[in-house]
Structure 1
Amino acid sequence: MKKAYESNWFSGLLALLFALLLFFNANSNSSSTNTATNNQVYDEVLYNIPVKLEYDEDTYFVSGYEDSVTVHLSSANRIQLNLETNEDTRNFRVEADLTNLSLGTAEVPLRVTGISSAVTAELDPATITVTIENKVTKAFDVEAQIPESFNTEGYKVDSISISPKTVDITTGEDTMAEIAKVVAPLTSVTQSADTIRQTVNVQALDSRGQILSIENPAPQVKVSVKLSLPKKEVALKIISTGSLPSDITGYTFNTSEQMVEISGSNSVLESIDSIEVPVDISDIRTSIQKTVNIPVNGDYTVNPSQIEVTITPIYAGFSTSDSISSSTSRGTGSNGTADSSNTAVSSAESSENNQGSTEESTDSTN
């Protein structure tokens, strides 16, 4: 009995040792996991964060500084980091205190305020350079600044209207003395536009044409400029479209205008020698007159915008010359004449749209 008792006691002690070993091993693993988790750091980079300047805005004008910076945020708390990253929930601001600075130029350190203590912020750049002047305001007349491309494209300015004609410019005292003129810079326009209407922020320029720092936002003016566009005459080329009836080999076309005037920039006009005018000949079996629009795009305008086209079918067994004579006697244009260069269109042109019908008509003629 003694030996059995000692055996049970020994087994119990051994089991207790194993239990303690397992307990301490589990706690050790849990502690290691928590430590690894707690040591993880999250990062976010925010760009174009505005810089807020602290100074007497009624007395001084500040210029020459970077108005935004890059902010690098890091934290072991992902929730707090997300709150500061989101523009709608963030609490921090980037500031520069200028209240104790005197007039002139100085380098000022930036600081982050209002940020959670669980989040660390680093700024790039960490400092900005500012120029402090006494604030002054003065009225100036505004003139329109025409893009150089207008001259190269052949535009001529007929008239300019600016409203208001005079604006108040607020800037620093030293900068004000450098202002030579105040302009309303116009941007480029579509190549066929003959009138520019734009609302723009004015700019103050020095004697060398350099842009000076003024209040932001700058005053706005409305500008209207009437332009004369370069013009050119081009020929019209009739292109038949649609299905050719089986008993007709082609058509003749007589137009009210053989030339039209197009307006646009020099670069556009140089690329155009003629304009193709599509005319639908589907199911036309007798001589008729159609009003046809001349195709245009945003690069140019055309005058006139429409022409009258007399369409005369050429039946199988009739010569082209007979049809031209018939067309001239029955369907002249508004100018009362028929230009042979613009009148005869053979079935070969129509075959581009209905090749099978043309071949059948040609075979029947032969």
Structure 2
Amino acid sequence: MDKLIDNRWVMRVFALFLALMLYAIVNIESGSSVNKPPTPLTQSPVADKAIVTDVPVVTYFDQENLVVTGVPEAVNVTLEGATSSLTKARQLKDFEIYADLTNLSIGTHRVNLKYKNLSEDLKASITPSAITVSIEEKVAKDFPVKVDLLNEDKIKEGYTPDQPIVNPNSIRVTASKDVIDKILSARATVSLENIKETMNKESLITIYDRDGNVLPVEVEPSVVDITVPIKSPSKVLPFKITREGELGQGLSVFSIEPKPNEITVYGPLDILDKLEFIDGVKVDLSKIKEDTVLEVDVPIPEGATKVNPEKLEIEVDIEKQEEKLFTDKTVTQVGLSEGKILEFVNPETGSLDVKVYGAPSVIEDIKPEDIELYINLTDLSDGEQEVNVEVNGPQNITWSLQQEKVKVKISSAS
């Protein structure tokens, strides 16, 4: 046996035999593995299916010159494929459904919806898969904006709306000629509930057809500014001019002429009902040395909201002063209680001289009966009393009395 092992030819033959045996074993295992089912590690990915709803539809066409109708805003897409890719697509919606109309002519067409940017291991089916579209030439036309005033019956009592002001006063609608021909009006709305002053508001434009239906068209601008002037209750009133200060020596007022001669006052009805005239329009004579036109503020009566105009022009004409004397003007009385007797003590005659001053043309026309002297005896008790003498006379004159007070005696009738 040892001799066989030591024989190199015997060993070579043995080695060859082993090599053949190993080769046969490997080929047998390889052949048998072809028919074996794949192990879990070599299985293909698990397939899944899901519906993605409300996927927007993108339309490709000449948007500058054409208008397309019939394209749905969104569709449903059924996705099928590897779970991981499907989950990602559902969450991100990073794929696109589109209608390619770029090579289509004006008219009606049946178009298949397509998809892109979808993972290669996903398949998609679109519902609906095809749509009917209408391609028309784009037309633009301007329409005036009409304003609908809502809740006019709920505006504050006494207040009324004036004509609304719209900026801009017209808008441009872009659509197909067929749609443009259906348009009746472009309208904006404003609510007047509880309004009592001029209001400013932004309002959306709505386009209506002749049947009152809203048309979904392109509008520029889609929002306009609306001003609604609100007219509050008003009352036209005269006003009283109060003279302050005195003219320089030797000067007299010939005339004071306001423009306008009435004021419109605005405010709540209960305030206006109480007003009879406006007081507080003042002219300071101490600052006037010649004919002058003054601009004077008109005071707003308490509780009112505004006046119109807010300022008056008052023309003051000045002339050199002249004087005129009226003698023995009887002093009349007012306010003497019933059953009382009046007796003049000083002057005993009950009459005074009065000198009036004014512009020549004013003085010239004054007559004795135009000047009235009187004393007010209201609430005076019996006995001798000194009482101020009051003077009534035409406008634009001043006067001086022989004496400023008179002494009288009041007694009860026996």
Q: Where is the strand percentage greater, Structure 1 or Structure 2?
A: 2
- TM-score of the two chains, using structure 2 as the length reference: 0.40
- Structure showing greater radius of gyration is 2
- TM-score of the two chains, using structure 1 as the length reference: 0.44
Q: Where is the helix percentage greater, Structure 1 or Structure 2?
A: 1
Higher relative contact order (CA 8 A, sep 6+): 1
